[in-house]
Structure formats: C-alpha cells, structure tokens
Structure 1
Amino acid sequence: MSDLETFLDDGPGETWGVVCREGEPRQIFYAREGDAPANRLGAESVGRVTALLPGGGGAFVDLGAGEPFGFLAKGSVAVGQAVRVTVSAEPRGGKGPALTLSGKGEGAPRLLKPGPAVAEWLAQAAPGVEPETGAAAIEAVREAREAALAPGVTAGGLNVAIERTRALVAVDLDFAGVAGRDGGKAREAANRRGLALAARRIALKRWAGLVVIDLIGTAQAPEPVLSAAKTAFADTGVTFGPLSRFGLLQLSLPWRQTPIEEALFGVKGEHARRTRQVDAVRDLRHALETHRSAPWISLIVPDVEVREMAGLVAGLGPRARLVGEATRPPGTYETREG
C-alpha cells in the first residue's frame, strides 16, 4: 500500500488539491475563481513588451490580464514587441508573474494555453494515485489549510518557528533536550528532524526565496548539517549558501506558486471576505456529505451577504438552503439542520 494519498476538492469558488504522505499534508495546489488564467504556473501567452529595465535588467510584459505585468528577466526584446512567454513563477507580493521567453509572438496579448489544472498537478505529483473527493477531500483541505497558515510546528520537544519577511524566510529551531542523552548527538538529531519539518512546512506554505535557518547550537560540524539539509530539501531546486559560525544555514529556493496566504486572502487582504464566504460554503458541503439523512441543511449568513453568496450555494442541490439573518454580524456563518 502506497504511503501517498491525494485529495481533490472542486467546489464553488475554488479548487483544492492536497498531496499527503504518511498521513501528513505535503503539497497544496489551489485555483481561485476569478484569478487570471494567464498568470498561472505553466500558462503560455502572447504578450507585448511595455517597458525595459536599464542595462538589460529585464522587461515588463502585458499578458492581457491587466497589471501588474509579467516580468521577463532574460531575452533580447524591444518595447512594443510581441513575444511568446511561459509563466515560470506565479504572482506574489503585488508583483506580476515571472516569465520565460519561448518564442516570437504575433498579434494582441492573449492566452494561448492555460497552465495545468489542479487535477493535473495532482496527477504529476502522484502518478497513478486516484484522488479522493467528497467529505474526505474537504477534511484533508481543512487540515492542510490549517497547517499551511500556522506559524510553525511542534513535535517531540522540538519547536520550529517559520516567518516570512519582505527579504527572506526565517526559521528558528528550538529544542528542549532529552534528559540522560548525549547533548551533541541530541542536538544533531534535533537539527536533522527540524530541517525536515521546516522543509515540509515551507513547501506547504508555498514559500521560497532566501531562507535562513537558525540551528540548535552554534558550533556545528558542516558535513552532517549539509547532509541533512540536502535530504530535507531534495527535489526543490535548492541552492545552498554557507553555514555560519553562529549556527545559521542559508539556502535559496526558486519561486513557483503564489504563497498560500496571498492566494487565499490577497496581498492586502482584498480577498478575505470572499474567502470567508467560500469557507462557510465548504462547511455546508461537508454537512451535506456527512448528514445525508437530513432533508435539508441551512447556511445562516448575514442578510447583507445573501446576494454575494447565492451563486456559491445555487449548485449544491435542493437540500442546501441559504438563509439570511438580519442580526448576524458580517463575516459570521452557521450551518444548521433544517
């Protein structure tokens, strides 16, 4: 029996794909309704060069999806030129997607080929594994979402705190120690475990760029640390920097997907209201799947949000009801049988 499982939740407003290994979420694929298909990883478009950076530092490319424009780091192009490009990294931090030049373009900016759908990403990540759907998928999404948004993870006396700043991803490993065990060996084992946990959570959060890891202890033998780090970050495209005498390990990961918190809530929280609404409808769908004997299940929402949420509930069948409540504060929801 494979230790790999996948889950596909294609619901109103969004689609989630989750890859689990040994029961733990490891990867998230996510598509939000309304996001520009031209900005998604792997999408191919004809774009038009709008501006060049001085000294051959790259070019901004209009993909026909509005601003922010895509960024082409390499390639000899001119302003106004049509180019064929592929998205190599999705938008993040208010910046447009990163692009690679794939050929000459003709005509107006337009999408030529969308990037892989969530189900296709799942199939690439776990070939031959049939994704689970329904209530099991909704539960897997809840678990993966919670883990991805958490600031860290604690396991067996080891605490791994992970924070993303504008410049880098900072990871702090902290270990309480084990009574009666050799301190050096315990720290080495804890660092090895901490690096593995950090790599998994960074992947789940879909973070990348410069990563600085504060290891346990200062006097570190480089060989075991780098060996553990290479194992933890295998198959990520990682580039390792130095291990400092202060116990800091530096590495760099290539950006590919929009960070999950930005995909859900937006860079400045502009999607937060809609995300809460979609979350509430997901809870309704889970109730419909797990309480099949109930003749109908109602989602109670604020009166002022009924109109916004009607489209999310409309396709869930006759057992799903959307009920407005005048006294309910905005952003609060409840599912009830009947």
Structure 2
Amino acid sequence: MQIESLSLFLTVIETRSITKAAQKMYITPQGASSAIKALEKQLGMKLFERTGACIELTQQGAEVAHEAQKVVAAYQKMQSVVAMQNNRVASRDILKVVATPFVRQTLTAVIQDYAAYSNDNAVVQVIEKNAFEIARGFETLDNDTLYLLDLPLDLEIASEELSPSFCRLALQEYAIFHPFVLSNFVIKCSEFSPYAAKDTIKWTDLTADQIACHDDPFLIKVIGRYVPTCRRGNVGMKVSNTELIGTAINQSGMIGISASLPVAFGERNWKKTYNGVAIEPKPKASFVTGALGSPENKHAKSFCLFMQNLLAHLIPSYMKKNDPSEFYKKNRRRFS
C-alpha cells in the first residue's frame, strides 16, 4: 500500500470528487479512479458508494479514513527526519528567519522541523518582509539568518522592483538564490460561485470581481499583470490576516488568490478557513520559492537541500511536473 494512495483517498473525502482530487494530486482522473479501486481491493472493502456523479464515504471507509489520517501524518513527520538526516547542520539556539507572507503562511511548521533537527534547543524567530524588500538588501544579508522569498517564474514581471545586478546573480545557479519549489497560482472561490462549476478560468474573467488577497506587493504585482482592472494595485481587499480571506470568499462572494502546493503537503501547514473550490487560471502563472544567501550563509544551501529531500519524498509527482530549475532556464537569456 503506497502512502500516495492514502493521501489520494483522504483528498477524495475532502473534495467529494475523484476528478477534483486528481487535480489536487496532479494525476489523471482515470489514474485516481484506478488507484481508489486498487486500494479497495487491497483492503477488501468498499470505501465509497457511487451514485452517478455523487460519491459518499461508507461506514467502513470512515473507519479507514480515521486511521489513514494518522498514517499520513506519521509519514510526513518521518520524512522531515529523513530530510534532516540527509543534511544535518549546526545551528544557533535561535534561528532567525526572514520570510515572505506566503512562506510564513505555508512553511512555518517545516521551518520549525528544520530548526529542531539541526539543534534540539533551537527556537525559531520569523520576521515577515515582502520579497522585494528582501531582494533589495541582498548585498548586506546576515550570514547567520535564513532568508526565504518568492520570485515570479517570469522575472520580467518584477523587473521594475528588482535591480539588474540582483537578477543576474540570482540566475547564476545556486550562487545566491536556491529555489526548492515551483508553485502555480490558483483561484479560490465559494462552492456557490459561478466559477465553481468551471474546469478553467481565464485571468481576464476576473475583471468584474472583487479579489481578496494577502497585502503582499509581490502578489499584488502578479495579479496586476494578469487582471487589467488591478494593474494599479486596486484589488478588492488586502489583508494581513489570511483567515479573513476565507471569510470574504464564503460570506462576500469574493475571489481569493492562493498557490498550488498539493494537499499531501499543504494540509500539514495550512489552516483550513473555508470549504471552497480551487482552480488554476489561464494562462498559467507560476513562481518559485527559495532561500537567499551567499556561499558564506549558514542556512541558505542547507535549507534548500532539506526542502528538496522533504518534497521529493512527500510529493514526488508534483515535483517532477514542477521543476524549480525552470526559473534559470526561463530567465537566463533575458538577464544575461
């Protein structure tokens, strides 16, 4: 029995749809259906009742789900241990981290794992800054601090905010910027939204909608690139408390902007704030997340290797389809 089969099983329960679960796990609906049938055969029981387009958990399925959640959580914790054993480093008692809003929201638990397995007595101190602030200070970064930021896959989007010297250095493979994951932006809406029934959404479809997002200049810059009515940063609602975004989606019918890390990794770190639908808009808009620091930085390369090991174990299918090294390939010619 593979851990990905159990993760898929739990995702089907969450989405109440094999098709939507397949999208979250980055596999085909046919592959997802076959995997669920194989799991049922292996367990010798029916996990779901299927009536047309509806799918409901059986009593036996509910009991299996309870245990599956424990197994998946234990496996994820074990992978943190394995990743750190593959790349153990010395650390001070206080690990100071400067991170973007997206990193702080999604990776705080993983950063704490990294710190703990580097030093059992380590205490994590996270300071939030936007990506542009971090990048502008790249020449004076503290070598004892871990800097984590997001950059658009297409650097031209942020060319007005980033200096040419930073872009050139960032595009020298693993010189000062160490990308470890590529994410795609997704649109989040209420299950009652007209968009919820659509397989695809164009960014330009959102021109008449109110968008709710984190008050992050990097994110607002990307939204403005793709949604004409937001080019001057006039999105519907910018907040520091991301839980308010779920409320805005559910109660006010607003549209949220998030990222595509699959549920196998995301559930461990993201607080669930609403029951809604996530759809990848067209054209695809992507960004990479990585560590920033010179070769003398104690943590940049180490944390990147830690994350690469961890994600390769937790979400192998996702990582194969979303290679962060695409950042170098896409931009090198333009900024060389």
TM-score (norm 2): 0.28
Q: If each structure's strand is expressed as a fraction of its own residues, which one has the higher value?
A: 1
Larger Rg: 1
Q: If each structure's helix is expressed as a fraction of its own residues, which one has the higher value?
A: 2
TM-score (norm 1): 0.27
Greater relative contact order (CA < 8 Å, ≥ 6 in sequence): 2
